[in-house]
A and B are shown apart, each in its own frame.
Chain A
């Protein structure tokens, strides 16, 4: 089992370009999450999907959109990238109840 996978691993964009970060899981988990990690700030929740067909905003949703394509896949889209979106992006999943989240390997994004 691959667990949680993310593509791409690294990406460099120019300001104003768009891109989609992909996340897939084979753990049959209901909930999926997107976080960003910036130095000295821990992780911050961007968007989450409590179950297939639902999405909702987290702490820092501005500048992002998400799609829960099916139970396995949850994508994060930057429509017009800005340098402030330079960060490491992590996808996470959780089964149900109060269980812990499982994190993917991350995507390191640089916006010039």
Chain B
């Protein structure tokens, strides 16, 4: 059974500070996704990471994947209030070259950015 664990689960940051959210998973996979969810809303795709060493950046967010360590990170640079949301990582179950898009999600990290 694939387990996906995020930490921290709650993160309170000051504007301007940097921080990292960690996503660990329990079995081999090289397909990992990051999503954002605002309160009461749906999920929005942030990053798709499809190989060992993949790094993607968008604005103040940067995601990376280390498949050997079974670890992905989401790094926040110089946080602003608009980044306040819940962030989820999700790992594809698919074995080998097959992907049906069966995702296992982490519990989510609730990020609050204070002035």
> A residues within 8 Å of B by Cβ?
31, 33, 40-45, 48, 50, 56, 58-59, 90, 92, 94, 97-106
Contact = CB atoms under 8 A, between A and B. Distances in A.
Nearest to B110: A40
Interchain residue pairs A-B with the least CB separation, the first 8: A42-B105, A100-B45, A103-B43, A43-B105, A103-B42, A50-B100, A94-B101, A42-B107
B88 interface: yes
Given A43-B43, A100-B48, 10 more contacts: A31-B101, A33-B103, A40-B108, A41-B107, A42-B88, A42-B106, A43-B90, A58-B102, A59-B104, A101-B101
21 contacts: A31-B100, A33-B101, A40-B107, A40-B108, A42-B4, A42-B108, A43-B88, A43-B90, A45-B104, A48-B100, A48-B101, A90-B43, A92-B43, A98-B31, A98-B48, A98-B50, A101-B103, A102-B45, A103-B42, A103-B44, A105-B41
Contacts of B100: 31, 48, 50, 56
Nearest to B86: A42
Interface string B92-115: 100000011111111110000000
Contacts of B25: none
A44 B33 contact: no
Nearest to A54: B100
Contacts of B33: 100-101
A59 B102 CA distance: 9
A45 B103 contact: yes
Nearest to A104: B42
Nearest to B92: A98
B53 to A, nearest CB: 16
A31 B103 CA distance: 13
A106 B108 contact: no
Contacts of A101: 33, 45, 101, 103
A14 B5 CA distance: 34
Contacts of A103: 35, 42-44
A81 to B, nearest CB: 23
Nearest to A44: B105
